[in-house]
Structure 1
Amino acid sequence: MSRQTFLELCQWLTPALQHQDTPKCRVLTVEKWVGIAVWKLATPDSYRSVGQQFGVRKASIAAVLMEVVRAINALLLHRLVRLGDPDAAIVGFASLGFPNCFGALDGIDIPICAPEHSGGRFLNRKRYHSMVLQALVDSRGRLLDIYVGWPGSTHDARVFRNSGLCCRLEAGIYIPQREIPVGDTTMPLCIITDAAYPLRP
């Protein structure tokens, strides 16, 4: 992340993260809050390691991270994350040899520490604890939709079936409704996936 991007992010998040000092506690600067969160999200470092890096108690790192993520969701999610140009995605996939494609969908296991008393649910088929993140991307790998939170033992098809993306696709309100000629037939737009996902309209 460039310094300019970092400072711009801090400026956007200041209304939600600016706190007042109290006689017993000196509050961290917005830059430090955002720096801690960006560092933790970008690296596999432990809370202890991040705390040492920023001179903050280990116990504070999780609270700082959650508050910054909440601020990002509240202030920036709908402002900065939006569906890209559907026509550009279609053209991009056509140039890659998929003429009727809107996006590519798959799930990935995000490693986590096993939660107490429920570690078995989070143990994935590769035998490590994780949460499943489902992502829909365009032809350039840019995120169009993400859905995260299911335990690592959950099959990709089940995650998809319970996602908001599935509901929007079935309702016909996510992808533009159009058919594209492919050879001597016409096909609706599609999303490509691997064999873990069922073939659905």
Structure 2
Amino acid sequence: MRASRQTRARRRLTLLNREVLIFCRYRRTKHFRMKRDSFSQLCETLRSWLTRKNTKYRAAVPRIVTNLEYRSIAQLFGVGLSTCCQITQEVITAINVVVRPKYIKHPSSAEFREIVQGFRDRWRFPQVGGCIDGTHIKIRAPSNNSADYYNRKGDYSIILQGVVDHKLRFWDINVGCPGKVHDARVYALSSLCKRGNGGVDVPVLLLGDLAYPLSTWLIKPYQEGPGVTPDQLNFNSKLSSCCMAVERAYGRLKGRFCCLLKSNETHITFISQIVSACCVLHNFCEVHNKEYMDREVEEAEGGDEEGQQQGPQQQHMIRDALRRYFSALQKLVFSI
């Protein structure tokens, strides 16, 4: 009698775990970007969704880790080319539907208190709930509106905007804006901006670079040049050091998932889902893995500068208060 669909799915899960078990420690972390117990936990999380789909979902891992061609992955796992494509799409969808709500979410009040304390302890910057920045994900030139995706570095790309905490984990992402769009515009179109401007859900400060608009809850550096004061330069230095958190997070993300480093050949309609899944798995690894096993990719893109806002708005008063705080702190250190 032919085995039931559920029985065949259970057999595949058993085979998957057996394959992971026989990997040595180096090969396992190299190919799956996580330790055995973490990978097993991920399998269990996805089990209910993917057993229903009858999916050999281990085949999707090399695609997002290395950007390996579908044909090579199909040969590696003994499945057809079309089946490999289907499996990858099902796994990516499952990660975004099942795992993302748990691992990328707006922090609770208690979690924000922990984040604020973490930034204060590590970078001595008060009242910070996250650092925001964008990064470009290279893509093949789309057949439609390709000029919109051509960025200032001469590549076709989409933009990932992320907010990270003191542990280099994303708690907000926005994926998919064409590469030509300025960081400030990406931010303005995001749900994060709408929540912040509506006066809800953002009880602490975010830190960003000069590309972002200064607001009562998003603080950026002073424009440097003629007239800049030593206090302002000191403030800029402190803010820049703190914002290394988001640059390091992107470095670790791309170090883990090399598909984000190469020009992605996937259809434009699905690339955003892949990027989102990579961010989810990055957080999963940061939560469950005790050490980072891959090299970080240096992130030094930097945003284009926007015109400076003028006038005694409240946002300028908040930034000036922070500047005075660091100035007083510096004087206190030198007086000891």
* 5+ residue gaps, structure 1: 21-26, 177-188
Tell me the distance in 2 between the aligned counterparts of 1:19 and 1:142.
30
Q: Report the equivalent of 1:184.
A: none
Tell me the distance in 2 between the aligned counterparts of 1:122 and 1:60.
30
Structure whose residues are more often strand by fraction: 1
Q: Which amino acid aligns with 2:194?
A: C
Normalising by structure 2, what TM-score? 0.49
SS in structure 2 of the partner of residue 18 of structure 1: helix
Correspondence for 1:53 among 76, 79, 83: 76
Structure 1 residues 127-138: aligned runs within 5 Å: 127-138=154-165
Count matched residues: 179
Tell me the distance in 2 between the aligned counterparts of 1:124 and 1:194.
18
Tell me the distance in 1 between the aligned counterparts of 2:80 and 2:189.
38
Deviation at 1:115, TM superposition (A): 1.8
Tell me the distance in 2 between the aligned counterparts of 1:169 and 1:139.
20
Q: Which amino acid aligns with 2:126?
A: P
C-alpha distance 87-19 of structure 1, shift in aligned 2 (>3 A): closer
Structure 1 residues 37-48: aligned runs within 5 Å: 37-48=60-71
1:18 aligns with 2:51: yes
Deviation at 1:19, TM superposition (A): 4.9
C-alpha distance 104-80 of structure 1, shift in aligned 2 (>3 A): closer
Correspondence for 1:64 among 65, 76, 87: 87
Correspondence for 1:4 among 12, 37, 54: 37
Deviation at 1:116, TM superposition (A): 1.6
Tell me the distance in 2 between the aligned counterparts of 1:129 and 1:79.
32
Contact 2:184–2:212 (8 Å) recurs in 1: yes
* 5+ residue gaps, structure 2: 1-33, 217-336
Deviation at 1:16, TM superposition (A): 1.8
Structure 1 residues 155-170: aligned runs within 5 Å: 155-170=182-197
Q: What's the RMSD between the two structures over aligned residues?
A: 2.1
C-alpha distance 60-156 of structure 1, shift in aligned 2 (>3 A): farther
> Which structure has the larger Rg over C-alpha atoms?
2
Normalising by structure 1, what TM-score? 0.79
1:198 aligns with 2:213: yes
Q: Report the equivalent of 1:86.
A: 112
Structure whose residues are more often helix by fraction: 2
Deviation at 1:130, TM superposition (A): 1.1
TM-superposition CA deviations, 1:81-132 (whole Å, max 9, x none) = 3344101111122230321321100000011222223322212111111110
Tell me the distance in 1 between the aligned counterparts of 2:185 and 2:136.
14
Correspondence for 1:175 among 188, 199, 202: 202
Tell me the distance in 1 between the aligned counterparts of 2:181 and 2:83.
31
C-alpha distance 79-140 of structure 1, shift in aligned 2 (>3 A): closer
Q: Which amino acid aligns with 2:49?
A: A
Tell me the distance in 1 between the aligned counterparts of 2:184 and 2:36.
40
Contact 2:59–2:87 (8 Å) recurs in 1: yes
Taking every aligned residue pair, what percent have the same amino acid on both sides?
36
SS in structure 1 of the partner of residue 176 of structure 2: strand
1:36 aligns with 2:51: no
